Amino acid sequence: MRRRNWRVVIVGSVLLFAAAGFFLYMLSIASRSNDPAALMQTVGQVAGAVGGLSIAMIIVGLIGKKV
């Protein structure tokens, strides 16, 4: 039997929503930038890295550890 780690799942979910919110917020202000393409490339890399980390945290938390 495995016990799920709900703290890790919750933190992963919060990080996932934060990454999506950050991306959408930066998308709305990118038009005022001097170089919007470079800005969104950097924002996409950061949001993707945080999103990937959060998905990994959710999976690890749901798998849990042996009791």
5 Cα distance to chain centroid: 18
Q: Confidence class of residue 67 from pLDDT cuts 50, 70 and 90?
A: confident
pLDDT greater than 90 at residue 66: no
The CB density around residue 23, as the number of other CB atoms within 10 Å, is 18
Note the pTM of the prediction, 2 decimals: 0.87
3-class SS letters over 49-66: HHHHHHHHHHHHHHHCEE
